[in-house]
Structure 1
């Protein structure tokens, strides 16, 4: 992103108390706390991924609370420090404390849905276009519903907060522990190919490069998605923060095609659990070449319209793949509804 786009992106994310006031100290910690000060920049006109980190004031010390995840806490601290630096207010006042694995796992383990009879779990973004608008069952930080798709039982699961980075891997591990056999992640991914314009096609694959190594998984889509003309298939890179993705980072990505913070963690968790995993994402931005659409202007009507078309295409491809799975006999009382 250009400097102007980056600043616009940061202003969307940074808590209003940081933008409006100076603080002697700002500490970023793990804690899903909706009872303290909610950011004025939250936009609750969508069902999922709208809750942002909250704030607690202690004299001139501001404590920012993120949903527990190592990548998320570090990423949000970097967002704050970068914003303050860009507006000329950074004095080294930002610090962060990374959560323990126990804290991270306990936050995700609040999900408690028996998924053993579901043919597919679809997690992520844009689920409102796939499922009944009024049939969501709410849990702590998430909502879900079941739908019968041509005789196959599908569970749609969305989170109100971000499942950034390693959090997403724990979500897949938790679903597997609850009985899931197949998980698909629907979201947005950045392209490393300069020729792909944002919001014009989809991305998929079965391999990701993480900071500590490469991982491949049993791909839910197999070769179905890869052979369709509106889908690009390739090697994914799992990056803990977009603020690490500068020009030096880009020069090291030769042979890689896409980037986001979650996919590698999810694929590794699925591989470890021995279940199928697949991602089918809208290519939302391009890191290798500037385009008018980027992560700072996702709310533009033209962008929303383009992504709606691509989400409908994702839904169509998922349904097409489901037809190759043997049908499930849905009994009364399973909370299934007609797609």
Structure 2
């Protein structure tokens, strides 16, 4: 079944559920993944219509399933009730709005509820761009480290300064300004590319993204390896960038390097998709490609150093449905220490932009 169907109302698309039997996650784990994402108002009751739009609105109804126990990426899309109709507001990004619409439609189908009620409205480019105007920092040639695990990468005694939807702190490593930047909301897919573009506007010379990728290579155990590289397949085109790490990260034990493919939604990564990509590509996630493309366009360096969190080609106990399990957290703590060591070593070995030097 196609995930995109035209809706009679101009500007809207109807989200059809994916076929769970064809997905790379098992039925039970896919449902669990959806349950931890879907707003409680949708899980608790039926609606005549559910429309997903771009809009960052923390005054709307906040999901009771928002994440706890971490500083960043804790916010889910919010909901606004209009009688028997529900408007779901996701941070403005084409990939994120589509992804969340597919999540809702698939959840409803898997729980035996009507799915024809779900539509989504892709946000306009200008709306997506201006959504990040609130991000305002004096970077002046800094390396900006953005993404996951920042509370463990940043100095333990550092103080986080909060802005609207984000928080940051500064430090200095090997004579280099370093800014740790975390977002409370998701920077899924094309949103992440606009984050890099905005950071370049604000004066960043380098951006490093720390996050999680899926492996497309059979036999690569989750939460035991790091991933890096400098090329991604983005909407059918190969994109390479000036890599902050060069060959440095890949030379370390426990780090795998390879070609990356950008996917707008985990829901679209079924077994047919895997068969088309597994021979040529090593990793998948939604953000790396758009970020690398934005860095190349802006003329700054970009690098990623990610935990391999799941494997689409081989089923393991750990996957995207149980990331808060104690064993997973323990393994990832070891990998975060390794990430911090590699970033520090890269700056110490080659501080190419000394403190105070701007572009």
Residue 141 (structure 1) aligned with residue 141 (structure 2): no
TM-score, structure 1 as length reference: 0.95
Q: Which runs of 5+ in 2 are unaligned?
A: 1-24
Q: Could you tell me which of 288, 298, 311 is aligned with 1:263?
A: 288
Tell me the alpha carbon deviations over residues 150-206 of structure 1, each in whole angstroms, 9 at most, x when there is no partner: 322100000000000000000000001111111000000000001100000100000
Task: Tell me the SS of whatever aligns to 1:13.
Answer: coil
Cα shift at 1:327: 7.2
Whole-angstrom distance in 1 between the partners of 2:58 and 2:352: 42
Residue of structure 1 equivalent to 2:224 = 200
8 Å CA contact retained: 2:209, 2:305: yes
Cα shift at 1:227: 1.5
Residue of structure 1 equivalent to 2:267 = 243
Residues 329, 208 of structure 1: alpha-carbon distance in 2 compared, 3 angstrom cutoff: closer
Residue of structure 1 equivalent to 2:117 = 93
Task: Tell me the SS of whatever aligns to 2:181.
Answer: strand
Moved more, 312-321 or 130-139: 130-139
Q: Could you tell me which of 209, 227, 250 is aligned with 1:185?
A: 209
- What pairs with 1:65-144 in structure 2 (closer than 5 Å)? 65-118=89-142, 120-132=143-155, 135-144=159-168
Residue of structure 1 equivalent to 2:297 = 272
Residue of structure 1 equivalent to 2:14 = none
Q: Which runs of 5+ in 1 are unaligned?
A: 331-339
Whole-angstrom distance in 2 between the partners of 1:174 and 1:302: 36
Size of the aligned set, in residue pairs, is: 329
- What pairs with 1:1-339 in structure 2 (closer than 5 Å)? 1-118=25-142, 120-132=143-155, 135-253=159-277, 254-323=279-348, 324-326=350-352, 328-329=354-355
Residues 117, 277 of structure 1: alpha-carbon distance in 2 compared, 3 angstrom cutoff: closer
Task: Tell me the SS of whatever aligns to 1:252.
Answer: helix
8 Å CA contact retained: 2:174, 2:351: no
TM-score, structure 2 as length reference: 0.90
Whole-angstrom distance in 2 between the partners of 1:96 and 1:51: 20
Cα shift at 1:44: 3.0
Tell me the alpha carbon deviations over residues 269-311 of structure 1, each in whole angstroms, 9 at most, x when there is no partner: 0001111000000000000010000000000000001001101
Task: Tell me the SS of whatever aligns to 2:186.
Answer: coil
Whole-angstrom distance in 2 between the partners of 1:167 and 1:327: 27
Whole-angstrom distance in 1 between the partners of 2:280 and 2:98: 27
Whole-angstrom distance in 1 between the partners of 2:52 and 2:352: 47
Task: Tell me the SS of whatever aligns to 2:220.
Answer: coil
Residue of structure 2 equivalent to 1:333 = none
Whole-angstrom distance in 2 between the partners of 1:22 and 1:223: 53
Task: Tell me the SS of whatever aligns to 2:211.
Answer: strand
Tell me the alpha carbon deviations over residues 38-75 of structure 1, each in whole angstroms, 9 at most, x when there is no partner: 00101232100010000000000010000000000000
8 Å CA contact retained: 2:105, 2:115: no
